[in-house]
């Protein structure tokens, strides 16, 4: 059973894929779940409230943050793409969120970072959380900005953040790459719960992955979070191999951890 440590919890990006997956699960963590996105998603249920906000709109973000005890920040541009919308959603947006947290005294944030912060490391490497970012596009750069900004707000204002470098969180791994990067929805919820409940979080980077046999990432430096994954991509391995072609080892999408993101674009227009 999850202990309800928070009275009111804010979930941004609530209308997205992970937001919808977490909406029901996070009700176990709080008395009131405040759902935010820039798109409407219909009626709220018991124990929920709605705060529509575009992340680029500082006043709307401030109103969404006011009165909450902690934030799970999933909202944003979630793939590689042109710089301008990434700038607004992920760079201006994360600044607006942390300024609102500072002004309203919110002391803990779980930030949905991404494996694309380190997408230009090779699939033959094992990363620790203190290795330098090697973003694989504008999207990865924007998440690296969020990680740095949250570290500044911790050092200066004491706002604790877990930067969860989510791998690939979908119902099942879609290809061979995701056998390494997969994070089940239940493990994502376990990870967020651990980040919200560990006594001292500090500013922590943690890879968001299930207990997959093939892995590129070590969470050895984030043991204080207490995240213990229960699921594994291994049960999907045979089916994934059966439906996908053998990898072309000369393809950058196969060589690098970021997969297809490393060759997306250019988006300069
Ligand atoms: P998604 O694209 O399905 O959901 C993102 C949500 O953010 C959408 O509902 C969208 O309306 C909202 N949003 C976009 N721009 C906004 C803005 N300017 N203002 C307010 N809301 C805005 O993405 P998904 O898969 O649910 O991912 C959630 C978060 O986790 C994202 O930040 C993504 O970068 C991150 N992530 C997800 C991974 C995955 O495997 N699903 C992997 C790594 C990171
Ligand atoms: C991400 O950061 C994206 O948000 C998600 O849609 C997937 O593409 C994931 O990375 C991945 O690397 O599989």
Helical axes 185-197 vs 17-26, angle rounded to 10° = 60
Active site residues: 139
Does the CB atom of residue 118 touch ligand 2 within 6 A? no
Nearest Cα to 224, choosing from 249, 199, 207?
A: 199
Nearest Cα to 122, choosing from 241, 8, 40, 216?
A: 216
Q: What residues contact 245, with CB distance under 8 A and at least 6 apart?
A: none
Does the CB atom of residue 181 touch ligand 2 within 6 A? yes
Nearest Cα to 196, choosing from 101, 102, 109?
A: 109
- Whose atoms come closest to the Cα of 91: which ligand? 1
- Divide the 269 residues of the chain into consecutive groups of 10 and give the mean pLDDT of each group: 85 98 97 96 92 98 98 98 98 98 98 98 98 98 99 98 98 98 98 98 98 98 98 98 96 98 88
How many residues are there in the chain? 269
User: Is residue 222 within 8 Å of residue 98, measured between CB atoms?
Assistant: no
Does the CB atom of residue 80 touch ligand 1 within 6 A? no
Helical axes 93-104 vs 138-157, angle rounded to 10° = 20
User: Is residue 218 within 8 Å of residue 125, measured between CB atoms?
Assistant: no
pLDDT of residue 236: 98
Distance (angstroms) between ligand 1 centre and the Cα of 77 equals 6
Nearest Cα to 94, choosing from 174, 12, 181, 167?
A: 12
* Domain assignments of the chain as residue spans, ordered by start: 6-263
CA 27, distance to chain mean position in Å, is 18
Which atom of ligand 2 is found nearest the CA of 181?
13
What superfamily does domain 6-263 belong to in CATH? NAD(P)-binding Rossmann-like Domain (3.40.50.720)
Nearest Cα to 166, choosing from 145, 188, 150?
A: 188
CA distances from residue 145 to 123, 142, 224, 242 in whole angstroms, order as listed: 23, 5, 24, 39
pLDDT of residue 4: 81
Which atom of ligand 1 is found nearest the CA of 89?
18
pLDDT of residue 10: 98
- Whose atoms come closest to the Cα of 259: which ligand? 2
pLDDT of residue 262: 97
Ligand 1, atom 5: closest residue by C-alpha: 16
Does the CB atom of residue 258 touch ligand 1 within 6 A? no
Q: Which residues of 65-74 are buried (b: 16+ CB within 10 A; e: fewer)?
A: bbbbbbbbbb
pLDDT of residue 76: 98
Euclidean distance between CA atoms 55 and 70, whole angstroms: 17
pLDDT of residue 41: 80
Does the CB atom of residue 77 touch ligand 1 within 6 A? yes
């Amino acid at each position: 059973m999850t202990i309800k440590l928070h009275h009111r919890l804010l979930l941004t990006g609530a209308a997205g894929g992970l937001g919808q997956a977490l909406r029901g699960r996070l009700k176990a963590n709080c008395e009131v779940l405040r759902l935010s996105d820039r798109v409407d998603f219909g009626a709220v249920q018991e124990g929920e409230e709605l705060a529509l906000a575009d992340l680029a709109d500082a006043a709307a973000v401030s109103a969404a943050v006011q009165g909450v005890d902690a934030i799970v920040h999933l909202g944003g541009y979630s793939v590689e793409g042109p710089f301008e919308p990434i700038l607004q959603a992920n760079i201006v947006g994360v600044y607006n969120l942390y300024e609102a947290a500072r002004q309203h005294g919110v002391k803990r944030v779980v930030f949905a970072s991404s494996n694309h912060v380190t997408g230009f490391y090779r699939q033959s490497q094992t990363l620790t959380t203190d290795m330098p970012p090697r973003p694989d596009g504008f999207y990865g750069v924007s998440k690296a900005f969020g990680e740095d900004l949250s570290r500044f707000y911790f050092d200066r204002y004491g706002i604790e953040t877990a930067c969860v470098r989510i791998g690939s969180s979908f119902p099942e791994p879609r290809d061979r790459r995701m056998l390494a990067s997969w994070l089940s929805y239940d493990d994502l919820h376990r990870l967020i719960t651990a980040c919200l409940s560990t006594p001292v979080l500090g500013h922590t980077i943690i890879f968001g992955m299930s207990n997959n046999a093939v892995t590129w990432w070590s969470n050895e430096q984030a043991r204080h979070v207490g995240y213990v994954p229960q699921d594994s991509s291994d049960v999907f391995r045979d089916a994934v191999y059966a439906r996908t072609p053998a990898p072309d080892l000369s393809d950058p999408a196969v060589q690098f951890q970021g997969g297809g993101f490393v060759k997306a674009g250019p988006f300069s227009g």
